[in-house]
C-alpha cells in the first residue's frame, strides 16, 4: 500500500480564515486508486516552513500532493519553494505563458503583472495545464518522490487532478475500498453499541463511525490486493451492517436524504412542495442539491413573514394569533396549505425558533415544528434542538428532520402497499 502526504499552503489556512476542503477531496481520490493519505499538513506562506515540510514529506511519503501558493500575488511561494528544494532556478515557461494570455483574451480581460509570474517553472519540472484558471500546476521529483503542486482554488485543483495528476500516478499495489452507510434516528454511541464487535481494531474491513448534525456515518474501509477482493469484503460488511441497523440506514456514500426521498416519490408518482419559515429556503436547496429533482419537487413558499403564511398558503390569521407562528397548529396548516394550494401529493413545512434570539420559556431557541401533509393525513413533530445548536446547526437539523419525516412516511406507505 502506497502512502501520500497532502500539503496545503496558505497563511489564510493556518490562521483559519479559510477552511481547507482540498485535502479531503484529494484524499478521497487517492483512496480510490489504492493510495492511502496518511497525513495532511497545513503551513503558512513562509518559504522556510514550506521547505521544511516539503523535505519531511518527500522523505516519508511515496507521493506528495501540494495545493495552494500558485496564485498571482507576492505571498504565493510554492513555485519558489519547489525550485529551492530541487536546487534549480525558476525560468519562464513559454507554453504556460501562452495559455495564460489566451485565458485573459477569451474573457476580454487584461493580464496583470502577477499573472506573468504564474508562468515560471523550476528547470526540469513539468507544467500541468490549468483548464479553468491561470496558474499551471507543477510536477517534479524530490529525492525520487513524485511531487505535484496544484492551485488552491478548488475547481481548478479538481480539474487538474483528474486530467493531469491521475494519469501520472503509479499503478497501485493494493486497493482501499471506501464505503459509508449513512444513518439517521439514533446517536453515535447507540449505533456503535449495535456493531461494536465489527468495529474491533485490526479487523478488515475497518469499521468506524462519525456523527454530524444528527447524521451518523458508518465507514467501511476494505483493504485487499485487488479490487474484486476488496469489493467482496466491503459487500459482506455492508450486508451485516444493514441487517443490524435496519431503517436507520438511509443511504450509502454520497446518497442523501433527498436522494432517498426522490427515489420513493418517483416510484409512486408523487410530487412534493415545501413551506419554509425559519429555514427560509434551505430545505428546498437541499432537496435540489442533486440534478433531476424536478421529477418530484415542484418548489414551494418561503413564508418568512406571517403575511406570506396567510396570503400564499391560507393559514388563518387567527390561528397564528392564537398559537403563535411557531406552533404545531401553524406547522400543520402550512403543510396542508402547501399541498392543497400548490396541488401536490406531499408537502413539508418547517416553523421554529432558529435563534440566537427570539426564544421564550415555553418555546426556547431550538424549538422547531416540522409538518407533513399527504392526502391521507397531516402529522407534526416537535423538535427540541437545545443548547448545543448554533443558528446554522438548528436550521440544518430542522431541514434534515423534515426530510426524515417524509422518508419514514414513504417507507411506511411502501411497506403497507408493497
Q: Footprint of a second copy on residues 38-97 (CB under 8 A)? A: 38-45, 49, 71-75
Question: Is 187 a binder of a second copy (CB under 8 A)?
Answer: yes
Q: Which CB contacts under 8 angstroms, 24+ apart, belong to 315-321?
A: none
* Shortest reach from residue 246's CB to a second copy, in Å: 18
* Rounded distance between C-alpha atoms, residue 336 and residue 275, angstroms: 9
* Shortest reach from residue 124's CB to a second copy, in Å: 26
* Binds a second copy by CB under 8 A, chosen from 248, 287, 315, 410: 287
* Binds a second copy by CB under 8 A, chosen from 108, 144, 167, 200: 200
Question: Is 259 a binder of a second copy (CB under 8 A)?
Answer: no
* Shortest reach from residue 69's CB to a second copy, in Å: 11
Q: CA-based angle 317:322:327, to the nearest 5?
A: 95
Q: Which of 44-73 are b and which e, b meaning 16 or more Cβ less than 10 Å from the residue's Cβ?
A: bbeeebbbebbeebbeebbbbbbbbbbbbe
* Rounded distance between C-alpha atoms, residue 241 and residue 235, angstroms: 10
* Binds a second copy by CB under 8 A, chosen from 115, 145, 373, 374: 115
DSSP E strands, 78-118: 90-92
* Binds a second copy by CB under 8 A, chosen from 180, 327, 349, 400: 180
* Shortest reach from residue 127's CB to a second copy, in Å: 19
* Binds a second copy by CB under 8 A, chosen from 9, 63, 139, 206: 206
Site string for a second copy, 208-247 (x = CB under 8 A): xxxxx----x-x-x--------------------------
Enumerate residues 388-417 that contact a second copy by CB under 8 A: 388-393, 395
Q: CA-based angle 368:374:379, to the nearest 5?
A: 35
Nearer to a second copy, 206 or 409 (CB): 206
Enumerate residues 130-169 that contact a second copy by CB under 8 A: 131-134, 152-153, 155-156, 159
Total residues found in the chain within this entry:
418
Question: Is 314 a binder of a second copy (CB under 8 A)?
Answer: no
* Rounded distance between C-alpha atoms, residue 396 and residue 352, angstroms: 12
Q: Where are the alpha helices (DSSP H) in 149-187?
A: 154-160
**Which grid cell sits at 238?**
455492508
Nearer to a second copy, 70 or 140 (CB): 70
Question: Is 201 a binder of a second copy (CB under 8 A)?
Answer: yes
**Partners of 145 in the β-ladder:** 142
Enumerate residues 321-340 that contact a second copy by CB under 8 A: none
Judge if the upstream peptide bond of residue 205 is cis by omega within 30 degrees of 0.
Answer: yes
The label of the residue with cell 479553468 reads: 132
* Shortest reach from residue 279's CB to a second copy, in Å: 7
Among the candidate windows 89-97, 200-208, 243-251, 406-414, which touches a second copy by CB under 8 A? Answer: 200-208
* Rounded distance between C-alpha atoms, residue 132 and residue 149, angstroms: 16
* Rounded distance between C-alpha atoms, residue 35 and residue 63, angstroms: 9
Amino acid at each position: 500500500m502506497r502512502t501520500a502526504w497532502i500539503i496545503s499552503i496558505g497563511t489564510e489556512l493556518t490562521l483559519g480564515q479559510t477552511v481547507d476542503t482540498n485535502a479531503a477531496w484529494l484524499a478521497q481520490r487517492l483512496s480510490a486508486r489504492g493510495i492511502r493519505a496518511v497525513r495532511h499538513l497545513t503551513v503558512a506562506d513562509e518559504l522556510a516552513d514550506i521547505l521544511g515540510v516539503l523535505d519531511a514529506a518527500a522523505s516519508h511519503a511515496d507521493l506528495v500532493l501540494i495545493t495552494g501558493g500558485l496564485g498571482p500575488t507576492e505571498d504565493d511561494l510554492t513555485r519558489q519553494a519547489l525550485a529551492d528544494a530541487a536546487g534549480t532556478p525558476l525560468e519562464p515557461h513559454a507554453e504556460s505563458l501562452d495559455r495564460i494570455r489566451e485565458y485573459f483574451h477569451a474573457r476580454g480581460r487584461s493580464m496583470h503583472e502577477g499573472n506573468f509570474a504564474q508562468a515560471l517553472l523550476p528547470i526540469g519540472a513539468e507544467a500541468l495545464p490549468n483548464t479553468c484558471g491561470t496558474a499551471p500546476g507543477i510536477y517534479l521529483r524530490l529525492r525520487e518522490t513524485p511531487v505535484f503542486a496544484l492551485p488552491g482554488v478548488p475547481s481548478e485543483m479538481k480539474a487538474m487532478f483528474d486530467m493531469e495528476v491521475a494519469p501520472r500516478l503509479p499503478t497501485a499495489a493494493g486497493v482501499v475500498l471506501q464505503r459509508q452507510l449513512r444513518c439517521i434516528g439514533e446517536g453515535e454511541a447507540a449505533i456503535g453499541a449495535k456493531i461494536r464487535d465489527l468495529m474491533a481494531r485490526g479487523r478488515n474491513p475497518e469499521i468506524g463511525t462519525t456523527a454530524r448534525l444528527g447524521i451518523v456515518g458508518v465507514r467501511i474501509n476494505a483493504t485487499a490486493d485487488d479490487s474484486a477482493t476488496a469489493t467482496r469484503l466491503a459487500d459482506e460488511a455492508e450486508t451485516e451492517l444493514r441487517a443490524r441497523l435496519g431503517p436507520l440506514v438511509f443511504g450509502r456514500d454520497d446518497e442523501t436524504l433527498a436522494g432517498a426521498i426522490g427515489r420513493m416519490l418517483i416510484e409512486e408518482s408523487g410530487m412534493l412542495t415545501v413551506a419554509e419559515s425559519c429555514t427560509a429556503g434551505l430545505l428546498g436547496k437541499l432537496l435540489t442539491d442533486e440534478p433531476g429533482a424536478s421529477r418530484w419537487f415542484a418548489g414551494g413558499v418561503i413564508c418568512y413573514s406571517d403575511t406570506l403564511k396567510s396570503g400564499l398558503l391560507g393559514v388563518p390569521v387567527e390561528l397564528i394569533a392564537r398559537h403563535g407562528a411557531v406552533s404545531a397548529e401553524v406547522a400543520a396548516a402550512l403543510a396542508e396549505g402547501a399541498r392543497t394550494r400548490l396541488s401536490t401529493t406531499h408537502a413539508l413545512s418547517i416553523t421554529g425558533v432558529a435563534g440566537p434570539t427570539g426564544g421564550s420559556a415555553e418555546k426556547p431557541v431550538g424549538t422547531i415544528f416540522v409538518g407533513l401533509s399527504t392526502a391521507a393525513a397531516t402529522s407534526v413533530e416537535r423538535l427540541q434542538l437545545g443548547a448545543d445548536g448554533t443558528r446554522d446547526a438548528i436550521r440544518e437539523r430542522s431541514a434534515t428532520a423534515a426530510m426524515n419525516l417524509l422518508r419514514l412516511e414513504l417507507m411506511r406507505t411502501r411497506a403497507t402497499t408493497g
